[in-house]
């Protein structure tokens, strides 16, 4: 990710205090449950899990969820929440998937929210997602539609959202099928008198 890891480290302790993170995760969880035919034994991975809000919401849906993040402070918060809630099927993992492959595990579902636009080489990550998924597994991406750069502002070197049509084409190139997308949430940023809206899409793809 292009943002410095320690920037997320610095935000970890305050992350769960922001209502928007809960509202967005709830909307994504509801649409995932509606769109994916879950089975009791399914294993999942959340890429860029942050403090794990979405995974905790989905913890009863999957047999096991690995919460991957490359911020050590985010992982610490996850560990504390797992201990507090006595969660037995959530597994925190400090790992940078951009730097190396995760070759010792596979999953039935990989999901990520608002993390992919921080990844410079999205094709690399998509290929790694594909390798990590079991045949017939699901990839779920929730992220920003293309925007004018105002969401993060000057100095951001990631992606200003995504053209969903192009993203679908890139997924098809590596073998994903049955790709659907829809708007699932709208984020709002700025002053009360100059509020900007940034819609978020939910894309679901199946590994062929």
Rounded CA separation 88/63 (Å): 10
Q: Are 133 and 106 in contact (CB under 8 A)?
A: yes
Residue of 65, 81, 94, 110 whose CA lies nearest to 16: 81
Residue 22 φ/ψ, nearest 5 degrees = -75, -45
Does the global pTM surpass 0.85? yes
pLDDT per position as a tens digit, 136-170: 999 999 999 989 878 877 777 778 899 999 999 99
CA 99, distance to chain mean position in Å, is 18
Q: Which CATH class for the 5-207 domain? A: alpha beta
85 DSSP 8-state letter:
H
Instruction: Kindly list the domain boundaries of the chain, sorted by start residue.
Output: 5-207
Contact, 198 vs 189, CB < 8 A?
Answer: yes
Structure tokens, 90:
């959530």
Can you give the pLDDT at residue 155? Answer: 74
| Predicted local confidence at residue 1, as pLDDT | 47
Pair type for strands 133-144 and 196-207: antiparallel
* Complete DSSP assignment for 45-89: EEET-TT-HHHHHTTTTSSEEEEEES-HHHHHHHHHHHHHHT-SS
Place of tokens 């017939």: 136
Q: Which DSSP letter does residue 10 get?
A: H
Q: What is the pLDDT along the chain (208 residues), one digit of tens a residue?
A: 444 456 767 677 787 899 999 999 999 999 999 999 999 899 999 999 999 999 999 999 999 999 999 999 999 999 999 999 999 999 999 999 999 999 889 999 999 999 999 999 999 999 999 999 999 999 999 999 989 878 877 777 778 899 999 999 999 999 999 999 999 999 998 776 778 999 999 999 999 8
């Amino acid at each position: 990710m292009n943002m410095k890891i320690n920037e997320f480290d610095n935000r970890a302790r305050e992350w769960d205090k922001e209502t928007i993170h809960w509202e967005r995760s709830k909307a994504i969880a509801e649409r995932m449950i509606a769109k994916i035919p879950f089975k009791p034994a399914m294993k999942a991975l959340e890429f860029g899990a942050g403090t794990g809000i979405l995974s905790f919401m989905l913890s009863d849906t999957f047999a096991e969820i690995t919460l991957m993040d490359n911020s050590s402070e985010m992982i610490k918060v996850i560990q504390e929440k797992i201990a507090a809630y006595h969660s037995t099927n959530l597994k925190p993992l400090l790992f940078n998937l951009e730097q190396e492959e995760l070759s010792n595990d596979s999953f039935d579902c990989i999901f990520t929210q608002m993390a992919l636009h921080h990844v410079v080489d999205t094709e690399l990550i998509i290929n790694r997602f594909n390798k990590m998924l079991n045949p017939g597994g699901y990839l779920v991406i929730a992220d920003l539609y293309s925007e004018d750069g105002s969401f993060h502002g000057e100095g951001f070197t990631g992606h200003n959202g995504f053209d969903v049509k192009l993203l679908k084409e890139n997924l098809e190139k590596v073998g994903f099928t049955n790709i659907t997308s829809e708007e699932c949430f709208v984020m709002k940023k700025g002053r009360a008198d100059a509020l900007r809206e940034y819609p978020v899409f939910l894309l679901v793809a199946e590994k062929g």
